[in-house]
Amino acid sequence: MAKLTRRERIRKRHMRVRKKVFGTPERPRLAVYKSLKHIYAQIIDDTKGVTLVAASTLDKEIRPRMPELTKTQEAYEVGKLIAKRALEKGIKKVVFDRGGFIYHGRIKALAEGAREGGLEF
C-alpha cells in the first residue's frame, strides 16, 4: 500500500468532512483554508454556491500588523474579522468546515476568534 502525501491526507479528510457539512441560507458554512504563509476564511451558502463573506491575512485590516503577530495570532484576528463582517450582513449561526485540517493550532485559533467575535457554531 502506497503512503499518502500530506496533501492527499488533507484532501481525504476534507471529503469526509464535506459529506456531513452543508451550508444553508439560515446556517451557512464557514470554510477555512491555510497555506504555509496565510489563512483564509469564507462564509458560503452552498444552496446558491455563493460566498457571502470572506477574510484572510491578506486583508488591509490585518496586513500592517502581521510582522508583530505569530501565525496563530493572525488566524485569531482573521476569525474576529470574519465574525465582524458576518454580523454586519446579519449572519449569526454558521457550520464550521475545517477544510480537512486537524482542529488544532491555527484552525482552532480562527474558530475561537470567530466565536469571540459573535458567531455561533
**Domains of the chain by residue range:** 22-117
pLDDT in tens, 32-50: 999 999 999 999 998 999 9
Q: What's the pLDDT at 2?
A: 76
pLDDT, mean of residues 14-19: 86
Q: Which of 54-58, 77-81, 99-103 has the lowest mean pLDDT?
A: 99-103
CATH number of 22-117: 3.30.420.100
Cα dihedral: 100, 81, 43, 23 (round 10): 80
For residues 119 and 30, the answer to whether their CB atoms sit within 8 Å is yes
Q: Is the pLDDT of residue 31 over 70?
A: yes
Other Cβ atoms closer than 10 A to 77 = 23
Handedness of CA 80, 7, 68, 70 (dihedral sign): positive
**Grid-cell match 484572510, residue found:** 56
User: Rounded to 5 degrees, what angle do the CA atoms 68, 71, 72 make?
Assistant: 110
Q: What's the pLDDT at 1?
A: 60
Q: Is the pLDDT of residue 71 over 70?
A: yes
pLDDT in tens, 89-102: 999 999 999 988 99
Say what the pTM is.
Answer: 0.87
